[in-house]
Structure 1
């Protein structure tokens, strides 16, 4: 019989590796002789798989050589990436990713599509990357690491998420913003939003009076970025009068004829203030044709007004009506308004230009052609006017002092004489000519009897003149110290002057001219208030209980647009004028006086006397 011996790979279900057929005699009984067969099943690499022998012989091991990594190659092996056919399927590294892509910027997404094919990672920033995924849109350069698919888009001027759109999802960059400072829309520093390249412009307004509030309606100054504000400016325009430190929003309203708190109302508590700035209704001062040229106030509250044609009236302390000591060629009608009856002890028919009142209310008068007079206001007092022996010219300046029981009055006239008058001395010793200059005096003022400011104009050429006198009481004859005006030779006369302190004074004159003095020998002209023309005729520099008004020059005018108001020059410029609350104010205003408590008195033409506060 035939016996077939077969060898299978791995198991009987495996590949037939070899077979041998032998003839055996089984006809005999008993033990037979043994025989052997030889099968060819080489497995040199010992991996359990038989080498392929060819001609249909052998197993399935595609590499049985133990010295050539044969043990790594057999049909049962798992294919790994090692550049050999581990599972003997005639494919090398099938199903394995051998693509290595360069990620030069290290952002986790490589450039493509080029790659290196190998099992192990090449040297450098190479990485494996799944098929079908988007490659990096930029893998080199300064911003490359911020640009890769899947990245969150931020506002930074680059395409972070590689969708070919820069800064998508954010407002358009480059659009104008805060145009006053040249701003455009740019990315915020954190990239999460869009901001303007410039902060909004900051606007600053002049704050001349330094009260922290800028001038209302003023032209602002623009500042951008880190530009500092200009000195003397603030970021608001709340001040209704930036030349006046007595006005600003939030300031307490006081009685001064000014809108202190900028609410548009002057003296909100008018009844408590006692009245407004308006015409005094009093029979003997309101008579038509009575031109009041001068007003003086006394420490005891007495108020004297005087004018041409012998007009003289007194308002006593606490009284509401003036009492007349005027000269009349024909007696006027008797008063019906409660005014006292006319006193007959007048000072004659003289044109009074100037006056000064002592602490007791005694008035001293100066007029045309050198006439002077004194009146106490007593009903039994006899006024005996007379001409100064030193002058028969118009007296246009007067200032007096009471020192050690002695009254000293300085009188100036239009011929340039400065005379010292001591009314209590014997008549022969009353008048001493301090100086006889070559110009016309129109105003005098002083704070003490040893220093006098005098103003006027040259006798020829109509050039303004300013001088001062340092006077020795024992030897009063003194030449003047010439002062210099800047600019010089302003057309017209200087009409009035007032010293506020030893180092400050104001002077006013024709053509709305105003000058300031700083204590030396120079006078600086100030540009007049806008739209005001005509003659300024009187000035007072405040130094009273209204402390915020100290140093302000209060000015009245005689013609043109200078009328109907009290103009105010402060250390910071022209403040809002005081409006006279009367339709009768459009007359020449000749003089004004201010009491230590801030009451204002103004003398004008055609029977006009104005007062603050007047009920």
Structure 2
């Protein structure tokens, strides 16, 4: 390419570039109103000063001369950085406008809406490439500086001297037009029905500080006294009363305000404290002075570890412990009580009660749970079985006899000692012993003649440890025998002649013995009693005219009975304490003469005699008991309990009571005495030297 052509292309490019660059006027005419605060923008500078108030907003309007084309702009003023200063607003007319324009400025109190406070217009002719200016001064009065111009200067502030009064203010209850809407206290409901703070009905009125308040015609404050005891309720403050007179359950504020329970008129300061689990006198304590919770003795169950508590009558009671023992009657004294009849008590309610129940037969001490099963035709261990687990040997329990002197003289008395030892005595000075561990009797030699007559022996008592026998018989004989005795020279300690019919002995703590004897004197017309220490010294005999005695028994030196005949009727004497004297028992039934007595325990004894007489003692009185139905002479009695009784008779019967019925066993000969250590170790003696044992003969 030639240099001329290159130069022409270059000049053509420059020409084209220069034709596309707009002029400054072109750029201004594109803007219209400039951004607020941009003073260097546009062909026209519009300057505005505000006097006497701060407009909330300024509104600018530009209109092309001779045409209707108009442009507007709104500019915030109050609250901006320009507030209080001259505001300059730039303007450039559009390209299609001419250079003659009319500019207007309107000032508003708040936003650029509604009626302007003031408005001004200026005409201006613009010039290309130059900047023109036009100045405005907008003036109005806002004396209270609340942002609202006075009505007199074109604004809406109806009271320009009070900043709190203007169209934007909240209407107060003050009989004034606070919001300049031409009305006073509107929308506040003045005169409407309302409830006061105390709850009384009233009407709404203006109160202090322009607030609406509710006022009742009559109301007052009081203390609540719902229980009407003259003491106000401390749990409640002042309560309203909407009348001039207080009702009965309200008190004036001058009354005491100290009631801790306004539902109970008995409770208030000054009241008497009652044991009721309440604070009667309002001293922040309950039942003070009554010892609540302290240990006490419960009167019902006699529990010493009870605790004091309030009773129903306002006094105190003793609350027993949560668990009170139950005691059951133990009539047979085997330490197992009956299954019923339990008594709640902390101490033993009475002698004869135990805290173990379940005895299936409380009249037999050899029958109770876990008892040893005996060969006695009974359920000893309460398991509903009889004589189980080999309790019996041979064919089962029965009465077995042996004659100790080959069918000789009758045997009148029997006594047991040690573990299976037996003494028997009888007519013709008969004395025989079965030592412990032996199965047979040995008859001792020698006669108790005391002179020329061989005496009959009736009573015998064997020392339970030594086995020494103390024996009494007719013609005032008393003797002491041991297993090795070969003679029977009698001691004669009684001071009166007669027949010793029965003996009962006791071993003292010092090892000595006390033997109590009874008998008949003067050929059976007088009774006698004596006490013997086993020595040879003479002891006095107490006589009882017309009352021969035939039997004596007891469980201690202070509980002994002697029985006999009082003109064919029952006679019972009781040993009086430790003095050795005897006194008649009161209220003895009018029955036959008594031959024998057995004292079982301190609540049970039996006495038997002529014509089937059977008497029972319950620890207090004697009565006719449930005995065998017979007119036989009952000569001996043995009892282990009220349901385990054995009686022998002159006609040769052994009667047995098991708590349900009497049964009888005939031995075919007269029987005179019976003794035993348990229902499977019972001995009876009778005619022809016979000894009977139940449930079989000892092996």
TM-score by length of 1: 0.48
Instruction: Mark the structure with the bigger radius of gyration.
Output: 2
TM-score by length of 2: 0.42
